[in-house]
Amino acid sequence: MKISNETIEQRRKSAIDDKTADLLVKQISHELYNHNLYRTFANYFAVKGLDKLETYYIGRANEELLHHQWIVDRLDYADVEFKYPAVEAVTNPIKDNVDTFSQTLDKEIETTQLIYNIVSSAKEANDWETFNWLQETLVKEQTEEEHISRKYLKIAAQEDVDWVTKADTILTDYESAQAAEGQQN
């Protein structure tokens, strides 16, 4: 089999092509932004005295830190040298309680599309290691992140339910889903 010099040169250095590596480094910034956004929502609910929603958003934020760590581990393992990217400040106004849930869902939809873009780049480069790794980690994770974000937005938007009850329903469901996920892994 004839392997191009370009492939040999690239893989002597690292296992991920420059374009895909660049997208992965940018994704570090997006995941850290998501962490900061969810911490901002946690603060919003802490100030409102809705402690269970504060706890819920701290949980979501911690997941974002984990997603960022997955990417860093993958880049390290593939011998990609990089510097930590800038993270945009959180400036979006929060209109009301329900708005945090709408913003969360929209952010997760955007995150899924950013990850699909990295999948496409890995596919284009015939980088099946990164392609598979993405399916097992970030792609799979986004299925869950979007699902729970849609579900909790519906609960948050219910007009005839008080916020203490909504907070309790959301946190209880989230914690049991996280525990079930932990058992699988």
- 108 scored as a contact of Fe ion (CB under 5 A): no
| Piece of the chain touching Fe ion by CB under 5 A; list 2-10, 15-23, 28-36, 150-158 | 28-36
Task: Give the separation between CA 150 and CA 108, rounded to whole angstroms.
Answer: 10
What minimum distance in Å lies between the beta carbon of 56 and Fe ion? 12
**CA end-to-end span of the chain:** 39
Task: Give the separation between CA 142 and CA 137, rounded to whole angstroms.
Answer: 9
Which of the residues 115 through 144 are near Fe ion (CB under 5 A)? 144
CA 173 to chain centre: 19
* Total residues binding Fe ion (CB under 5 A): 5
Task: Give the separation between CA 185 and CA 179, rounded to whole angstroms.
Answer: 10
Which of the residues 48 through 107 are near Fe ion (CB under 5 A)? 63-64, 67
Whether 78 and 15 have beta carbons less than 8 Å apart is answered as yes
- Residue with the shortest CB distance to Fe ion: 67
- 79 vs 181, which CB is nearer to Fe ion? 181
What minimum distance in Å lies between the beta carbon of 147 and Fe ion? 10
| Residues at the site binding Fe ion, with contacts judged by CB under 5 A | 31, 63-64, 67, 144
